Amino acid sequence: MKVKKTKKIIISTVMFGFLVAVSLVIYAYARTWNKTDIEFRIHINDQLVQESTFGEPPTFAIWLENPGTGTNQTVFVTKRAALGDWEGKADVPVALPLWFEVYKIEHRTKNHPTLDKPAPLAITGATPSPGYFKTRVRVTPGSRWTCWIEVNLAGDFNEYYKDYNEVEKTTDEFSIGQPALLYKAEIETVEGNMVNPEVVGMCIPDSPDGKIIQPLAGITTAIDVFDEMTVAVVKPKPRILE
């Protein structure tokens, strides 16, 4: 009798575990019903990273703009910019000039992120190693978005943006090299849609005309720091927890 009872308990336990597993799978797929993700896929040029003065992957930020309201939502920003961790420097305003302004409006602050008051963890990520990088954001199906990507590779000097300018006798205060570049893509969130962001300018804080976005000038290697970029509308991955 004890053996039969033990078998029944084992069978009941196995069946219960099976039903729980099936329920969780169904729940995970149900959470993706009528949902859409925008996926950013970027390839970081390893050679240019290695050739830069610091050999450190680029600092970059990704955000969405609602073309109807003009409001912005940060999707991802690398750790240095998110924490204000600049290795001895209190601030590096030239790193991501436009995103810093977006951040201040988005979070109703007058300051850039700092170690004491960092950007939210939900958008912060470690600086990706060279190679492919992916990140996603959940959006309403059928909606339209403007996608922005701002990127800067520190120490990416060239003949126009030098560490030390012999003629003007000036030093690059932040060792930034070529300015941050800004990429843009327009997309409608219909599954299967895919676009390639295009460069729209370079970002210069405190420019004479007061505009952060400036036409490209003197840019060479910086244009290839991201040598492949796509923005695609995809189905969300089934997950029990986000």
Mean pLDDT, the chain, rounded, equals 88
What angle is formed at CA 83 by the lines to CA 130 and CA 156, rounded to 5 degrees? 40
**Averaged over 135-154, what is the pLDDT?**
97
**Averaged over 125-147, what is the pLDDT?**
93
Is 196's pLDDT higher than 60? yes
Indicate the pTM of the whole model: 0.85
24 pLDDT band (50/70/90 cuts)?
very low
- How confident is the model at residue 232, as a pLDDT? 98
In this structure, which amino acid lies at residue 85? D
In residues, how long is the chain? 242
CA distance 41 to 128: 12
- How confident is the model at residue 93, as a pLDDT? 95
CB 24 within 8 Å of CB 127 = no
Burial class of residue 152, CB neighbours in 10 A (0-12, 13-18, 19+): buried
Complete DSSP assignment for 42-96: EEE-HHHHHHSSS--PPEEEEEEE-TTT--EEEEEEEHHHHHT-BTTBS--TTSS
**Averaged over 166-175, what is the pLDDT?**
86
